[in-house]
Amino acid sequence: MKKVTVSGLLKKKQAGEKITSLTAYDASFAKMFDEQGIDALLIGDSLGMVLQGEDDTLPVTIDDIAYHTRSVRAGTQRAFVLADMPFMSYATPEQTYANAAKLMAAGASMVKMEGGRWLCETIQGLNLRGVPVCGHLGLTPQSVHVFGGFKVQGRDADKAQQLIEEAKALEAAGIQLLVLECVPSSLGKAVSEALTIPVIGIGAGKDTDGQILVMHDMFGISANYMPKFSKNYLSETGDLRKAVQQYILEVQNGEFPSAEHSFE
């Protein structure tokens, strides 16, 4: 079995093939997603909401993510595994190195951090020390209290241009993947075209290089609510494995996300 690598993901973008991704938090689901052929699994700090029942991702700790990363790694043979750096675990470069080391030792192949230009020095430092980095722009949930709620970002032309510039700065600093969350579809397209590296969208329209969903949203079993950009594949298929297969298929053939699951 050929493992998915960061260069494999880049090749997919270059070939115009969509990258499929889900969050995972334990070995059993990771194994099942892996067997269905998912490209990447993210141990997201969304676990604060879907596993711990919190209102947002802020209470999640580095040890929480490390614990779940170990579980996902144990269940995964083929997919690329990346893990979230939680709130305030990357406030300074030195602190980031120590915390990223915990996630890499737990089995992550890349760490993800929310934010723009201010992270460039940290990203360079991580790369030099052997840690690949995924960026995260748009609606960055750790900043929910700055935004004043979970709101679509980059709606006006100025903000959209600013986001494109931030994305380019992150790429120049060394990120090898970018998650783009809750932005208008036009901006999702523009960012994906502006970058060489793959852009994985969630609520960012159909033109990003790939898609990611929180697994609990994709199964329609999230504790609190279902975001507009998610789709319940379990109710459609009535079977966990078929739900994953259907999600992968619809991302690959461009059926998901439709306008109903996107922002204009």
Task: Summarize the annotated binding site for Mg(2+) as residue ranges.
Answer: 45, 84, 114
CB 198 within 8 A of CB 178: yes
- In angstroms, what is the minimal distance from the CB of 42 to ligand KIV? 6
Tell me how far apart the alpha carbons of residues 88 and 187 are, in angstroms, rounded to a whole number: 28
- Coil vs helix vs strand at 177: strand
Question: Which residues, numbered 164-193, are part of the site for ligand KIV (CB under 6 A)?
Answer: 179
Specify the pairing of strand 111-114 against strand 133-138.
parallel
Q: What is the dihedral of CA 255, 224, 27, 76, to 10 degrees?
A: 30
* Both structure tokens of 78: 């083929």
By residue count, the chain amounts to 264
Among 13, 19, 25, 46, binds ligand KIV (CB under 6 A): 46
Q: Of 84 and 207, which has the nearer Cβ to Na ion? A: 84
DSSP state of 165: H
Question: Which residues, numbered 58-97, are part of the site for ligand KIV (CB under 6 A)?
Answer: 84
Rg (CA), the chain: 17
Q: Of 137 and 190, which has the nearer Cβ to ligand KIV? A: 137
Question: Which residues, numbered 60-119, are part of the site for Na ion (CB under 5 A)?
Answer: 84
- In angstroms, what is the minimal distance from the CB of 154 to Na ion? 18
Identify any residues that bridge with 113 across adjacent strands, giving them in sequence order. 135
Question: Which residues, numbered 209-228, are part of the site for ligand KIV (CB under 6 A)?
Answer: 212, 214
Residue the block writes with tokens 């080391």: 101
- Contact partner, 214, from Na ion, ligand KIV, none, Cβ < 5-8 Å per class: ligand KIV
Identify any residues that bridge with 80 across adjacent strands, giving them in sequence order. 40
Among 34, 45, 209, 250, binds ligand KIV (CB under 6 A): 45
Q: Could you say whether residue 181 binds Na ion (CB under 5 A)?
A: no
Q: Could you say whether residue 45 binds Na ion (CB under 5 A)?
A: yes
Q: Of 204 and 238, which has the nearer Cβ to ligand KIV? A: 204
Q: Which residues are catalytic?
A: 181
Residue from 58, 1, 49, 56 nearest 25 by CA: 49
Binding interface with Na ion (CB under 5 A): 44-45, 84
Binding interface with ligand KIV (CB under 6 A): 23, 42, 44-46, 84, 179, 202, 212, 214
